[in-house]
Chains A and B, each alone.
Chain A
Amino acid sequence: SAVISQKPSRDICQRGTSLTIQCQVDSQVTMMFWYRQQPGQSLTLIATANQGSEATYESGFVIDKFPISRPNLTFSTLTVSNMSPEDSSIYLCSVYGQSTGELFFGEGSRLTVL
């Protein structure tokens, strides 16, 4: 199994500011995934973060808006830049269990932009 800790669990931010979300895993993983869940909607994959290389972004998401860092095999950050109310969502990081293929999620970071 994998234990994932996300910080912050929730935050309220002003329009135009940026917020960095941290994701810490208790084991080394090759790939970490960042998802967004907007109110009333299903999960959407933002990007895949690989250690030692640039993140791979899904259609509709760009690095300038959602820069990602992956300094080592247990940690990643997602920054939501120049926030607007439309960015109000739950942001989740996720990893695969090494042997089971089970997908583990953090508890999520609930972001509200005023």
Chain B
Amino acid sequence: SQELEQSPQSLIVQEGKNLTINCTSSKTLYGLYWYKQKYGEGLIFLMMLQKGGEEKSHEKITAKLDEKKQQSSLHITASQPSHAGIYLCGAEKNNAGNMLTFGGGTRLMVKP
């Protein structure tokens, strides 16, 4: 089965600092998804990566998938309190798509 490990499990940063969250798989990733969850709310889709070496950015968040397609990173530049939440990476369980397995999540706090 596909296992995803996220690191760190939790992170506290000062507002304005950069940070990186990693997601590592024991198997090739066919589709890698990043989500954000705030307490009491549904998941918010951030980005999807499929190709080795792919990189996508949205506002101050950049996600990358390595060439071997076994590791992804989520980088936040100049963090703000609004970035606080739980970040989850999810991967398709097989090349048929549609079914996801998730990492354990990274709880991010941004101190003003």
Residues of A within 8 A of B (CB): 31, 33, 41-45, 48, 92, 96, 101-108
Contacts and interface: CB of A to CB of B under 8 A. Distances in A.
Interface residues of B, number: 18
> What are the 7 closest A-B residue pairs judged by CB atoms, nearest first?
A107-B42, A43-B102, A105-B43, A42-B102, A42-B105, A105-B42, A42-B104
B99 A42 contact: no
B42 A92 contact: yes
Contacts, number: 41
A107 B102 contact: no
A96 B99 CA distance: 9
A108 B88 contact: no
A44 to B, nearest CB: 8
A102 B88 CA distance: 14
Interface in B94-112: 97-105
Given A42-B102, A48-B99, A107 B41 contact: yes
A101 B91 CA distance: 12
A48 B105 CA distance: 22
A107 B45 CA distance: 13
